[in-house]
Amino acid sequence: MQHFEVAVIGAGAAGMMCAAVAAQRGRRVVLIDHAEKLAEKIRISGGGRCNFTNRTVAPENFISNNPHFCKSALAGYSPQDFIALMARYNIAFHEKHRGQLFCDRSSEDVIEMLRAECELGNVQWRMPCTVQQITRVETGAEGGYELATSEGLLQVDKVVIATGGLAIPQLGATDYGLKIARQFGLKVVEPRPALVPLTFDGVQWAEFGELSGLALEASISTGSSRNAPAFLEDVLFTHRGLSGPGILQISSYWQPGEAIKLDLAPGQDMTTALLEAKAGGRQQLGNLLGGLWPKRLAEKWLGEQAALRIADAPDRLLRELAARIQSWSLIPDGTAGYKKAEVMRGGVDTKGLDQRSMQAKTVPGLHFIGETVDVTGWLGGYNFQWAWASAVACGRSL
């Protein structure tokens, strides 16, 4: 039976970072993953360019039942720290939109950097290798763990679960981390897809499904959550519903059964604009809105009213039209599910974890990091920053 001081299960973003940090500080580390290919989620992220962090990261960019939990780790390892690591490997990057940072060349650069960091600490790899059972062994002062794996038994002092969440099962995502948490008596915040397209009832969506592929900027909010911000982002019409950055953002806050609201003319006062246009206008309503939106949307939105001259439109009709444009309320019937979700919301309840070490409060030597934990970032590099930050906090404590 081989002995290691630390076993990190899951060789994704958080797992490789944690293994590298702990190993470079002198720990004897084994990194285990069941996949054939290394870090597939990093590889496909950001369209193959990996949106590895955001220039401005704050606790407000994360969702959790315990919103204060992430503060310590985020303060201990900033976006600037990861940028400095990239610089050491001469990896070129660029800023795309609202602080989002992407590799110039390929996501492979980040994967190879993390692999090299592991090599610097002489991390031992077991891949592909499955961990069938984790057993706590009460030996010595602090005890340890026995891992029954497809490559034999391992004896380890500490275990780090970095197996991610349920999103993108086609890349091998499983609920393994949640099962381990439950095995050792930790509570789990009910998981669900996040950063995911929203779908609508087929009958309700029939007329808008024809607009598939059309996109425009909108302000999106959701009703019940007082903490939910409004996002000003692009919205994309699909055959089944709505997608695009704005919808992915609001999906993390949306609760089943509640409405989402879209302002399709953000930053404008449409009531005033329409009433002023009426004063000297011979334009048809369809042409007027066609200057604001893609023409297909204007025609679909107005229907028979598209041919109505604005000068002939009653003020009441224009006020109602303006209100609908700036507060379009829709009730999704669900999401596109984990296959289309970028991340999982929910996970291991942070009330059971120490925020400085990510260790379970009631199970010495058992740690949870990254997406497995109930901390979910916004779209735009925030989930990778949580992976780096939680991994470094854990790795340093080991």
DSSP string, 214-250: -EEEEEEEESS-TTPPPEEEEEEE-SSEEESHHHHHH
Q: Are 344 and 193 in contact (CB under 8 A)?
A: yes
Q: What is the C-alpha to C-alpha distance for residues 146 and 155, in angstroms, rounded to an integer?
A: 5
How far does CA 261 lie from the centroid of its chain? 21
Helix, strand or coil, per DSSP, at residue 17? helix
Q: Name the DSSP letter for residue 380.
A: T
pLDDT in tens, 103-162: 999 999 999 999 999 999 999 999 999 999 999 998 777 789 999 999 999 999 999 999
Mean pLDDT of 19-28: 98
Residues 6+ apart with CB under 8 A from 202: none
Residue 341 has pLDDT above 90, yes or no: yes
- Quote the pLDDT of residue 127: 97
pTM score of the predicted model: 0.95
Every domain of the chain and the residues it spans: 2-192+341-397, 197-336
Q: Please, what's the b/e burial string for 70-80 (b: 16 or more CB within 10 A of its CB; e: otherwise)? A: bebbbeebebe
CA distance 395 to 24: 9
Average pLDDT taken over every residue of the chain:
95
Could you tell me how many residues make up the chain? 398
Residue 115 pLDDT: 98
Contacts of 4 (CB under 8 A, 6+ apart): 28, 29, 30, 124, 154, 155, 156, 157
H or E, element range at 148? strand 144-149
Higher pLDDT, 170 or 225: 170
Does the structure show a pLDDT above 70 at 226? no
**Fold entry, domain 2-192+341-397:** FAD/NAD(P)-binding domain (3.50.50)
User: For 263-308, how does the pLDDT look when each residue is reduced to its tens digit (9 = 90+)?
Assistant: 999 999 999 999 999 987 788 999 999 988 999 999 998 999 999 9
Percent of the chain past pLDDT 90, that is, above it, reads 91
The predicted-structure confidence for 349-377, as pLDDT tens digits, reads as follows 999 999 999 999 999 999 999 999 999 99
Give the count of alpha carbons within 13 A of 222, CB side only.
20
Residue 17 has what pLDDT? 98
Among positive and negative, which fits the CA dihedral 252, 11, 53, 49?
negative
Residue 227 confidence class, pLDDT cut points 50, 70, 90? low
Cβ-contact 53, 46 below 8 angstroms:
no
Predicted confidence (pLDDT) at residue 10 exceeds the cutoff of 80? yes
Task: Report d(CA 134, CA 146) in Å as an integer.
Answer: 6
**Residue 284 tokens, joined:** 């048809």
pLDDT for position 224: 59
Residue 227 neighbours by CB under 8 Å, 6+ apart: 67, 253
What are the tokens at 243? 């997608």
Fold that domain 197-336 belongs to in CATH? Elongation Factor Tu (Ef-tu); domain 3 (2.40.30)
Beta carbons of 365 and 59 less than 8 angstroms apart: no
